[in-house]
Amino acid sequence: MADEVDERTTRAPSTLASIAGRVGVSVNTVSRALRAPNTVRAELRREIAKAMEELNYVPNRLAGGLAGTRSDIVGVVVTSLYYSEFAAIVDTLQSALLSSNLQVMLANTRYDADQELKLVRSILSWRPAAVAIIGVDHHPKVDELLRRSGVPVVEMWDIDGKIIDSAVGLDHVAIGSAQAAHLVERGYRRLAFLGSMRENDARAQKRARGMRELAETHGLEPVVMATRQENGHPDLGEALTFEMLERHPAIDGIVCNSDVIAFGALRALQRLGKRVPDDIGLIGFGDSEASACMRPALTTIRPDREAIGRLTAEALLARIADGPPKTTRVEWRLMERGTTRGIERT
């Protein structure tokens, strides 16, 4: 489903002249501070750097430094390459862009907001044709830099928030609600959210919010949160499951923020002698290749990564051609398997 949105307004990007005016020096002095910093005294360099930061100035790394020049590069900024969570998106996106003679410059923020700012600033310095970036929740200066750059921007994987230009992604609050609803409909009543919850992983936080809201709607006890700020992996899922059940032994339904967390949770439940799905139901997110191979097979959410990559490429190409911004919601599927009880039918 695609919804048209009003065209976003941007201010003109800063120039050497605007930096020079802010500091009270010549354009040549600012240029020397960038190209030959040893020729400019340290105090003045600090003043120039401060002005650049305040005005969100991005240098032009293209040969010749022509202000209006654009490269054939599309910057693609992801938050993780761990377990190839975004591999299918990037692969599909890159294939589509190559057919239009555009090259991908890939950057990984590792869920670090400061790193996101550095990488976006660096990508913009190459005057990209466009930028695709994971999520709609960014470092405040990243948001401002991208809005002021004049470069087409497509935010991927999420659509719930203040969109810079265009977006292609999932409704993560709705997904969290659906995960909880699936457990509740199958008789599970004491729910927990388990997994990696990094400070800048807004998508996992939104799914947890959707889960909590669903539990409240059904009059259930508050959802137990068992999370850590580290990369998701099976050992983390196992450790969190042991810790959570020691404190909350009555839990009978677990939502994991990723499949790899669910793999570790399943291992812990089996070691504890818990019967899955009879004693405890378990649902993941991501539908990785191994999910259907687990015993029992993992109930999970399947996001359409290929569709996100393809639709992002289409949105980028449309914006490069001066088409209007738009937001596209991508569908997902709940894959019901053996870690949740089936509904009895008469």
Q: Is residue 47 part of a domain?
A: yes
The pLDDT, as a whole number, for residue 62 is 56
Q: Is residue 278 part of a domain?
A: yes
Whole-model pTM? Answer: 0.81
Q: Which long-range contacts (CB under 8 A, 24 or more apart) does 31-39 make?
A: 34/59
Structure tokens at 206: 């939104």
Q: Is residue 159 part of a domain?
A: no
Of 212, 95, 188, 166, the closest CA to residue 318 belongs to 166
Q: Is residue 126 part of a domain?
A: no
The pLDDT, as a whole number, for residue 297 is 97
Residue numbers of the domain that contains 219:
172-303
Q: Is residue 244 part of a domain?
A: yes
Q: Is residue 196 part of a domain?
A: yes
**Number of other CB atoms surrounding residue 321 within 10 Å:** 9
The pLDDT, as a whole number, for residue 329 is 97
Pick the last residue of a domain from 24, 40, 57: 57
The pLDDT, as a whole number, for residue 343 is 57
Look at the chain and report how many structural domains it folds into: 2
Of 55, 30, 56, the closest CA to residue 45 belongs to 30
The pLDDT, as a whole number, for residue 11 is 53
**pLDDT tens-digit profile of 318-341?**
999 999 999 999 999 999 999 998
Q: Is residue 119 part of a domain?
A: no
Q: Is residue 282 part of a domain?
A: yes
Give every CB contact of residue 273 below 8 A, 6+ residues apart in sequence. none
Distance CA 93, CA 87 (A): 10
Distance CA 204, CA 137 (A): 12
The pLDDT, as a whole number, for residue 190 is 98
Distance CA 179, CA 158 (A): 17
Structure tokens at 123: 């990508």
The list of the chain residues with pLDDT below 50 reads 1-10, 63-66, 344-346
The CATH number for 298's domain is: 3.40.50.2300
The pLDDT, as a whole number, for residue 218 is 97
Residue labelled with tokens 């203040």: 162
For residue 323, how many C-alpha atoms fall within 13 Å in the half-sphere facing its CB? 15
**pLDDT tens-digit profile of 66-86?**
455 678 999 999 998 876 779
Distance CA 237, CA 68 (A): 50
Residue labelled with tokens 């991927």: 156
Distance CA 173, CA 175 (A): 5
The CATH number for 10's domain is: 1.10.260.40
